[in-house]
Chains A and B, each alone.
Chain A
């Protein structure tokens, strides 16, 4: 059903209405467009027992794990991209802990992408030619094999992933939730279509006319969107192509912040619990404006007929 009514709301209301304790939550974005603003609001509202799914948990899930939001993590690469480790994640599962505090379900990137593709197509599983010779299927019994009914070839399968809620950050959206993004688009389209509910967080709110002027750039249509939140710089310290660069200094700093549990807690106290919203988070760090993107416009195309 199409719904053209405005879905614009605050981050606080969107999380309160659409993210519940025990949900499977996906905040996607491959390095690019990772919605830290939504993750921080989930922490502030004290959600518990979440199953967090993402290809790369990144700093945002490390923070949510440290804050006690997660019961389980579903993932394919759990590092600090270009830097090193996610230490809250490591502390939760390495051997020296007296009991494992976090359940994990692990795939490769192709496996996670295939899970979202199955979920988006509302199929129970997705076949892929993969995992032979690896120990990944032994570590995760949900990776299985099936005999191709046409050729007899043994193919790996992964189960559909259908999140309760997927949160997608994008450069622009209209009030109904028609969403456009450019640069690396990761697996956001599949994750959104696989999800029961979708929250779109946009750098800019634009008129429907702007969306209609360039329809090939629309990745998520309004019909699958539950809420639209307008949150400039909402992806920081991740980035938004054409808006701001990645805060690599913060990614590097996370190595030492996350290594020390009390420092990590102080970070959360100051930059998450200690601020009411994203605007206040930004006011605390005016230096981020150094990351503002330079202009590199595309040539544009003729949609006439």
Chain B
């Protein structure tokens, strides 16, 4: 369901910076459904990738075979990302807060972490530069605190300052795609607000998974369930071994 919803957010012809896992499924689903001219760029250097198998990592050899271009990582970050060529970036993380700040670095303090997470990778710069970012994360109160323990990837407001004031070129996280609902950044406050519900989910159930009082859009949208075509592609073609399609 999350992969199908994320795929619908992509428009044909867009240039997308793809992460591994669910975002990768979403991009490849979009490419086969409504966006055949979607350009997939991976931070490993594959541009216009057309993976014949589900990539297990972001540096999978299947991303290279048949791609339009393979470049070094200095080119990925300078000539594509900092140059402003990336329209959509996908981000995920252990914690997402009220303003869409993401933590993939530590739970607890930086110097004495309770849990040490992998860190930024390319996420910090994607959050700064992509024209818009989509956050994909499952709802639960620990994963959606009012404020993250550590800001790895900046959202709409970081420690009180809006991203425009901080000089970030991209619009930042415009939506958070969860397993129950879609949250959207409020254009004025930058706060993530409840925008649309999945079938059979109540607003209260969404609030239960979020650590701040969730503002609701004046008119809540209803997210259509995955179509038969989306399900068939996801289950039979893209992820037949169910590597990422769990839950």
Interface residues in chain A, defined as those with a beta carbon under 8 Å from any beta carbon in chain B: 30-32, 55-56, 75-79, 81-82, 85, 89-90, 93-95, 106-110, 113-114, 116-117, 128-136, 138-139, 153-154, 182-187, 189-190, 239, 241, 245-246, 248, 251, 293, 296
CA distance A255 to B91 in the complex (A): 23
Interface pair A31/B59, CB less than 8 Å apart? yes
Interface pair A94/B116, CB less than 8 Å apart? yes
3 closest A-B pairs by CB = A31-B59, A133-B154, A79-B118
Chain B residues with Cβ under 8 A from A241's Cβ? Answer: 61, 64
Interface pair B118/A108, CB less than 8 Å apart? no
Interface pair A133/B72, CB less than 8 Å apart? no
Chain B residues with Cβ under 8 A from A106's Cβ? Answer: 105, 119-120
Whether A186 contacts B124 in the complex (CB less than 8 A), given A31-B57, A81-B57, A135-B150, comes out as no
Which of B39-47, B130-138, B180-188 contacts its partner? Answer: B39-47
Residue B228 is within 8 A (CB to CB) of chain A in the complex = no
Question: What's the least CB distance linking B66 to chain A, in Å?
Answer: 8
Interface pair A187/B167, CB less than 8 Å apart? no
Interface pair A135/B105, CB less than 8 Å apart? yes
Whether A246 contacts B56 in the complex (CB less than 8 A), given A132-B168, A135-B105, A184-B45, comes out as yes
17 A/B residue pairs, CB under 8 Å, sorted by A? A32-B59, A89-B116, A95-B112, A108-B119, A108-B120, A108-B122, A108-B123, A110-B122, A110-B124, A113-B77, A116-B74, A132-B167, A136-B105, A153-B167, A185-B70, A186-B44, A246-B60
Across the two chains, which residue of chain B brings its CB closest to A153?
B167
Chain B residues with Cβ under 8 A from A186's Cβ? Answer: 44-45, 72-73
Interface pair A128/B82, CB less than 8 Å apart? yes
Chain A residues with Cβ under 8 A from B61's Cβ? Answer: 32, 183-184, 239, 241, 245-246, 293
CA distance A154 to B168 in the complex (A): 11
Interface pair B119/A75, CB less than 8 Å apart? yes
CA distance A183 to B64 in the complex (A): 6
Interface pair A183/B70, CB less than 8 Å apart? yes
Question: What's the least CB distance linking A216 to chain B, in Å?
Answer: 13
Chain B residues with Cβ under 8 A from A82's Cβ? Answer: 20, 56-58
Across the two chains, which residue of chain A brings its CB closest to B101?
A133
Whether A134 contacts B45 in the complex (CB less than 8 A), given A77-B119, A184-B59, comes out as no
Residue B81 is within 8 A (CB to CB) of chain A in the complex = yes
Residue B171 is within 8 A (CB to CB) of chain A in the complex = no
Which of B6-14, B158-166, B213-221 contacts its partner? Answer: B158-166
Chain A residues with Cβ under 8 A from B168's Cβ? Answer: 132-133
B57-112 interface with A by 8 A CB criterion: 57-61, 63-65, 70-74, 77-78, 81-82, 101, 105, 108-110, 112
Chain A residues with Cβ under 8 A from B72's Cβ? Answer: 185-187, 189-190
Chain A residues with Cβ under 8 A from B112's Cβ? Answer: 95
Interface pair A94/B119, CB less than 8 Å apart? no
Number of chain B residues close to chain A: CB under 8 A? 59
Question: What's the least CB distance linking B72 to chain A, in Å?
Answer: 5
CA distance A107 to B72 in the complex (A): 18
CA distance A94 to B44 in the complex (A): 28
Interface pair B115/A94, CB less than 8 Å apart? yes
Q: Give the residue of A81, A85, A133, A187 whose beta carbon is less than 8 angstroms from that of B166.
A: A133
Chain A residues with Cβ under 8 A from B150's Cβ? Answer: 135, 139
Whether A135 contacts B167 in the complex (CB less than 8 A), given A77-B118, A296-B65, comes out as no
Interface pair B113/A93, CB less than 8 Å apart? yes
Chain A residues with Cβ under 8 A from B65's Cβ? Answer: 296
CA distance A78 to B105 in the complex (A): 10
Chain B residues with Cβ under 8 A from A184's Cβ? Answer: 44-46, 59, 61, 63-64, 70
CA distance A204 to B110 in the complex (A): 44
CA distance A134 to B152 in the complex (A): 5
Chain A residues with Cβ under 8 A from B163's Cβ? Answer: 132-133
Q: Give the residue of A116, A139, A183, A293 whose beta carbon is less than 8 angstroms from that of B105.
A: A139
Residue B5 is within 8 A (CB to CB) of chain A in the complex = no
Interface pair B60/A95, CB less than 8 Å apart? no
Q: Give the residue of B44, B78, B113, B166 whose beta carbon is less than 8 angstroms from that of A132.
A: B166
Interface pair B124/A131, CB less than 8 Å apart? yes
Chain B residues with Cβ under 8 A from A239's Cβ? Answer: 61
Q: What mask results when residues 134 to 157 of chain B are scored 1 for a CB within 8 Å of chain A, else 0?
A: 000000000000000011111100
Across the two chains, which residue of chain A brings its CB closest to B64?
A183
Q: Give the residue of A75, A108, A117 whose beta carbon is less than 8 angstroms from that of B125.
A: A108
Question: What's the least CB distance linking A277 to chain B, in Å?
Answer: 26
CA distance A108 to B73 in the complex (A): 12
CA distance A189 to B72 in the complex (A): 8
Whether A93 contacts B116 in the complex (CB less than 8 A), given A139-B105, A241-B64, A246-B60, comes out as yes
CA distance A95 to B149 in the complex (A): 15
Chain A residues with Cβ under 8 A from B113's Cβ? Answer: 93-95
CA distance A39 to B119 in the complex (A): 23
CA distance A78 to B116 in the complex (A): 9
Across the two chains, which residue of chain B brings its CB closest to A130?
B125
Chain B residues with Cβ under 8 A from A94's Cβ? Answer: 113-116
Chain A residues with Cβ under 8 A from B45's Cβ? Answer: 30, 184-186
